[in-house]
Amino acid sequence: MTIHKEGRSWVLISSILFGLSIYYFKVSSAEWFWLKLLLVATVGFFWLAFVQFFRLPKRTNSSQAHQLVAPCDGKVVVIEEVEEPEYFKDKRIQVSIFMSPINVHANWTPCEGTVKYVKYHPGKFLVAWHPKSSTENERTTVVVQSNNGKEVLFRQIAGALARRICYYVQPNQSIAKGSEFGFIKFGSRVDLYFPIGTEILCKIGDVTTGNETVIAQW
């Protein structure tokens, strides 16, 4: 396991502060012992939280070519047929995965193919499960055309805590299944939109492991 590049400065600064708090606790007088202990514990908590949040474990993708993997760690909260208004402008099967603060927040590509569309949208920071978060929150939309010609749209959506969505892909770029396409800082969810007729292999309440859990096939 390593620390994701998006979090290295956070972990470095918190590590320095944690070390300084321990040093101060050791060299200072016994006066205000419990207050200083509380300071060390608080700084240590934030250091541990940043390490937990920005961790980047190694993942092995062993799925078949016709299978699509979860783009993130989290919990499946939506599976429904909806109208996708931004790119397809027709009916699609939406699968939404909610990412809690304790999940790994790297995002992986669910299939191999060519990036056809990328667009970043600034926006609000409604809670990730709010019905309007898909269309009003800060978000990034990516569409990949797989090698069989079918397209899948995946959308990173910021939440109440998330204040920055990071993405690393560009239109016309060839991309491998399981390659890292982005990161969401401090929370939120990823929505996927599959063609009607795609076989969904997950159900609401399922816990996914990014780049490992097979969630659909076509």
Contact 61, 178 (CB under 8 A): yes
How far is 160 from 189, CA to CA, in rounded Å? 11
Catalytic residues: 188
How far is 38 from 62, CA to CA, in rounded Å? 46
62-86: buried (b, 16+ CB within 10 Å) or exposed (e) per residue? ebeeebbbbbbbbbbbbbeeeebeb
Give which of 167, 164, 194 is closest to 180, Cα–Cα. Answer: 167
Residue 26's alpha-carbon distances to 12, 23, 46, 80, in angstroms, are: 21, 5, 20, 57
